[in-house]
Amino acid sequence: MKVVRPEWLVDSAAQGVLLPWQDFIYTPPDRTDATQGRKARPLHTAELSSTTPSYASHDSNPFAQRAMAKPEWRNAHTSVAPDFIQGYYKNSRLHHLSTWKAELKDLVQEAQVRAESAEASGKVAAEEDAATAGGVSMRGVEFVMRSPTKGKGKAKEMPEDRVIMHCDFDCFFVSAGLLKRPELKGKPVVVCHSQGAQGGGGSTSEIASCSYEAREFGIKNGMSLQQARKLCPTILTMPYEFELYVFSTVFALSEWRNRYKQLSLQFYTVLMSHAEDLQAVSVDEALIEVTKTVNRLRAKAKITVDPAKEFAETIRAQVKRATGCEVSIGISHNILLSRLATRKAKPAGSYHLMEVDAQAFIAPLTISDLHGFGRSAKEKAVEKLGTACLGELANKSRAALCDALGKATGDTLYNAIRGIDDKILESDKPRKSVSCEINYGIRFESNEQAEVFVRQMATEVRKRLDDAQMLGRSITVKVMKRDPTAPVEPPKVCFY
Ligand code: DCP
């Protein structure tokens, strides 16, 4: 595939002719690929072993290798297939989850605008039956926000008097599946593609969600079924519920419904009825501000009662009635602490993390337990500061953290260790980008095939921009390539 430097466009435009692209080939400094650019420098064995990532120790998946050897299979199931992009997204649960998240954010924003203008004119916004809206998309649904906060971020309350709740379904996909399989409640269950004994001990099927009973065996979301079976040979599997055929005896009506979408809309409908502000985090998770309500309850409550926790339990009960599923709620005066409180609240509970307890709660945790800090921050901290434990990092100066992790991350971490977080809920943050990214099943044998595919991706991005009613100003192109030491066929197979 041709990858050229931007000067190709700039110089061509300046000279008024399309200059030969070969003079502008982009060559990354560490290129080891022989297909274009500077010639590859052979890697020495010592260099290879020091940079070999763990996945490279796997061999190519033998099923994938056999399938890929057949041209007709390759033509039908990889990026050269004419309908590959549609098929890829139709079958990608992560795509559905990220699309719903974007749609929920839009719906929340629209509801806020409507509520504020309706309030001003004395009108009440119309409420649709969110739960029965058809199709895969969430668009077309209308939320009603009952008590929006005006002048966001300028509330009269002191930061420590704010009340933020982090509401999250417990093992969302599993809970959704258990609704029609109550006999599996209390058992180690996972949701994945392989069912029953299918997939065998070598199954690469990924676990999307696992019950809390399965977690007791060390099973986690994202693990392969093969690994899970090693930890718990009697593990039970449940299918996804993206498409569910529903027959209503009342209306003699049958239709395809998406259980996750239905539950998510019911959950958001309950939260919207209480939230002064709401940030949609994902299909099964949201942050709400309920400062005014809790302060009102506080004024009337007995000294022995925690009105914030009582209110959280009311919300949990309402969601349970609406969905049949458990959500857990973490409560505190900022986003960071309410997210951490949810760890203790789960499963099926609520927990109020008070300011006085925050540092002791945080001390035994590690950097990657904090939202927004990943593996790389953890590795840097261990390498440069000798530890990733937050209790130990509490003894380091702000300057030491900034030197090791960079100014922004260091500052945020210094505050987080002390339970300080001044972020406000992002309910009205406009969407900044629309993208199409595919990192699976990409196999080309010629430049022409790659060019056709890039055009198809561009069409997909345009469609998404149209759906979101947005225009773009700049384009970022991301090209990923296989690590030269990784197996040609990854451990996970592209079988759809
Ligand atoms: N999900 C997925 N694949 C993953 C992780 C998650 O498909 N690797 C889906 C299924 C999950 C849902 O997203 O049910 C929500 O993810 P969470 O990370 O919130 O995990 P759970 O809801 O399953 O469990 P928890 O109770 O820890 O929130």
C-alpha 489 – ligand 1 centre gap (Å): 27
- Is residue 42 over pLDDT 70? no
Mutate to test the pocket of ligand 1, among 101, 172, 319 (most ligand atoms within 8 A of CB): 172
pLDDT of residue 29: 64
DSSP H stretches of helix in 69-183 = 71-77, 84-91, 93-121, 172-178
Query: Which is more confident, 443 or 174?
Result: 174
SS (H, E, C) 160-184: HHCCEEEEEECCHHHHHHHCCCHHH
C-alpha 173 – ligand 1 centre gap (Å): 7
C-alpha 324 – ligand 1 centre gap (Å): 18
430, 442 contact by CB (below 8 A) = no
- Is residue 52 over pLDDT 50? no
Average pLDDT over residues 135-140: 69
Mutate to test the pocket of ligand 1, among 95, 284, 285, 350 (most ligand atoms within 8 A of CB): 284
- Is residue 218 over pLDDT 80? yes
C-alpha 220 – ligand 1 centre gap (Å): 10
C-alpha 399 – ligand 1 centre gap (Å): 36
E strand or H helix at 245: strand 244-248
- Is residue 445 over pLDDT 80? yes
pLDDT tens track for 225-246: 999 999 999 999 999 988 655 5
Average pLDDT over residues 21-26: 83
172, 233 contact by CB (below 8 A) = no
Shortest-distance Cα residue to atom 3 of ligand 1: 208
Query: Which is more confident, 336 or 439?
Result: 336
pLDDT of residue 46: 43
Average pLDDT over residues 411-421: 95
pLDDT tens track for 164-208: 999 999 999 999 999 989 999 999 999 998 876 665 555 678 999
C-alpha distances (whole Å) from 289 to each of 124, 297, 337, 339, 350 are 21, 14, 13, 13, 15
- Is residue 156 over pLDDT 70? no
Q: Which residues contact 389 (CB under 8 A, 6 or more apart)?
A: 363, 364, 365, 366
- Is residue 15 over pLDDT 80? yes
Which stretch of 85-89, 153-157, 163-167 has the lowest confidence by average pLDDT?
Answer: 153-157
- Is residue 55 over pLDDT 60? no
pLDDT of residue 249: 53
Closest CA to 373 of 390, 361, 360: 390
Who lines ligand 1 at CB under 6 A? 93, 97, 168-173, 208-209, 221-222, 284-285, 346
Which of 46-50, 357-361, 482-486 is modeled with the greatest confidence? 357-361
Residue 412, Cβ density class (10 Å: 0-12 exposed, 13-18 middle, ≥19 buried): buried
C-alpha 209 – ligand 1 centre gap (Å): 5
Distance CA 63, CA 491 (A): 10
C-alpha 172 – ligand 1 centre gap (Å): 6
Mutate to test the pocket of ligand 1, among 171, 221, 329 (most ligand atoms within 8 A of CB): 221
Nearest ligand 1 atom to the CA of 173 is 14
Nearest ligand 1 atom to the CA of 284 is 15
- Is residue 396 over pLDDT 80? yes
Average pLDDT over residues 58-71: 79
pLDDT of residue 441: 86
Structure tokens at 374: 């990943």
Structure tokens at 119: 């309030």
Q: What percent of the chain has pLDDT over 90?
A: 49
Closest CA to 127 of 263, 261, 265, 251: 265
Rounded (10°) angle between helices 259-272 and 307-323: 150
Which of 74-78, 211-215, 238-242 is modeled with the greatest confidence? 211-215
Mutate to test the pocket of ligand 1, among 94, 209, 339 (most ligand atoms within 8 A of CB): 209
Average pLDDT over residues 416-420: 95
pLDDT band (50, 70, 90) for residue 110: confident
pLDDT tens track for 289-314: 999 999 999 888 777 789 999 999 99
- Is residue 48 over pLDDT 60? no
Which stretch of 26-35, 78-87, 358-367, 420-429 has the lowest confidence by average pLDDT?
Answer: 26-35
Distance CA 129, CA 54 (A): 49
Shortest-distance Cα residue to atom 8 of ligand 1: 222
pLDDT of residue 91: 77
Average pLDDT over residues 377-398: 94
DSSP state of 68: H
- Is residue 51 over pLDDT 60? no
C-alpha 189 – ligand 1 centre gap (Å): 13
The torsion region of residue 374 among left (phi > 0), alpha (psi -120 to 50) and beta comes to beta
The overall average pLDDT reported for the chain is: 84
